[in-house]
A and B are shown apart, each in its own frame.
Chain A
Amino acid sequence: MIQFVVDVLIRAVDLALIAVGLSSVYSLIRFPNVALVQYATTGALLALGLQLAGLPLIAAGIVACALVGLMAVVLNIAIFERLLCAGSAIAMIGSLALSMVFSAVLLAVAGSRAQRFEVEIAPPLRLLGARLTELQLISIGISALAIAVLALILFRTDLGRCMRATATNPVLARATGIDTRKVTNTVVFLSGVMAALGGIGLAVKGEMSAQLGPDILLPVFAAAILGGLGNPLGACAGAVVIALAETLVTNVNFGPLFGQPVLFIPAAYATAASFLLLVLVLLVKPHGLFVSEVKRV
């Protein structure tokens, strides 16, 4: 049972980081940026490259996150500010197009073979009966810390207040002297950092490949949408729900339900389960499970 909780947690934290980034940007500029999952891959690739260049993993990670954050801001100014003038649907298709360009670049740089970070392989720790490597523990810690810091920024600082003001009513926020563009770009920077951190987390525990971005696209979106797009903390809850669904589907013996001794759902359906969950939730609750906004007529 504890093992199960740990498995869910390991999966949830990385998804949560990227989903939180997606959701906070959505709250400000009302379009889901599909390219964010590619920022995550870029972060992982940069960190890997920096590590190969001789930097320790932690330093490589910090530099990679900062670089991806900057890249997110530059792309937002160069591309999305312009596309958003034509509407949020156009911006969303634009982010898809950008995502394809990213795929091409990542494939060219990283090659089609999967690569791994150089980390010491330590025997797994035993924690309340669950197996857990030191690396996983550190990764969970860092991710949880990052989310906590973001939550503090959102709810305890001036930037957070400005951000929520901008999210609720950009025109009014501008009229009261808030530099909404600066607020937006700060949040875009933070979202890039979060995405890169999530990408590094995924790559450290598994593999780094150009396929990472497309693979996590739907789980991340499912988490963000379940949490209600634009509600960053809801995205965390959404990530837990998605991780739970994926882990349940692959780890639970459904045999007794159908009068057979053993019946496992094929692992290939783990991702399908989260998408299906997303579709079902959208059928019943069109704005996600944890909606903070009051729906307007």
Chain B
Amino acid sequence: MAETILKTEHIAKAFGAHQVLADVGFQIGSDEIIGLLGPNGSGKSTLLNLISGFGGADAGDVTFLGSSIVGLAPHQIAQRGLVRTFQLPSMPHRMTVREVLRAGSRERAGLLDAFRRDAGEDNAEELLEQFALKSVAHQPASSLSGGQKKLLSIAVALRTHPKLLCLDEPTAGVHPLLRGHMVDLLKAINRRGVALLVVEHDMHFIHELCQRCIVLDRGSIIAGCAPCELAQNERVVEAYLGKSLERQKVLA
């Protein structure tokens, strides 16, 4: 593992009396692809929100590139290179796909840049090609299918040149044929020096993509291992399928 890019320590969060996260700590290396797993309601999305600044933690520290990002606003965290996508990306209906993609980059997007002649470099067209969005580039972004919105939200996040990209269920709603393509795409992104943290339910996708997995259950980390070791991990199996005793009852 190369140097650590993100480190969380003792993260805790409660909504009212319900403890959603308790003492969560993990690290991500700057060249890694990490899967974040766990049953529904285990706190994955909350954890992602806390890391990216969309909600404050009750306790704990998040260090990104060597400095604490606790208490920073979402845009400040994004400016430092930690960018996230949303589980249900909602897209503008009065902007085309191409416009949304172009809006992703903040380069030359200042007030005074409007009066400059040269507009700077632009990789929007390449991204449209890579993410199979070229044919819909002129359509309103809100008219895309759920899967296409997912692709667009990843593409637009890439426009910010992130160092760590957090993806919330990137394959949900994406056509199965595109998933293989997506694995290659994400691996290529990773090779260009972007660390990835992927919240995902599709185990096959995780196996293909991730080097390491973190498994959350009821707000705590219960495992951190390679994807192939998950099936042997008693606690992980328990979390997904219930206690072994109950499971025997089910099987019997």
Contact = CB atoms under 8 A, between A and B. Distances in A.
Main SS class of interface, A:
loop
Interface string A256-297: 000000000000000000000000000000000000001001
Contacts of A297: 49, 54-55
A281 to B, nearest CB: 23
Interface in B53-67: 54-55
A97 to B, nearest CB: 22
A297 B55 CA distance: 6
A164 to B, nearest CB: 19
4 contacts: A294-B16, A297-B49, A297-B54, A297-B55
Nearest to B15: A294
Interface residues of A, number: 2
Contacts of B16: 294
A71 to B, nearest CB: 34
A67 to B, nearest CB: 40
A27 to B, nearest CB: 21
A297 B54 CA distance: 7
A294 B16 CA distance: 10
B199 to A, nearest CB: 16
A45 B23 CA distance: 65
Nearest to B46: A297
Nearest to A294: B16
Contacts of A294: 16
B25 to A, nearest CB: 22
Contacts of B55: 297
A286 to B, nearest CB: 15
A153 to B, nearest CB: 28
Contacts of B49: 297
B251 to A, nearest CB: 35
Nearest to A297: B55
Interface in A159-196: none
A32 B49 CA distance: 31
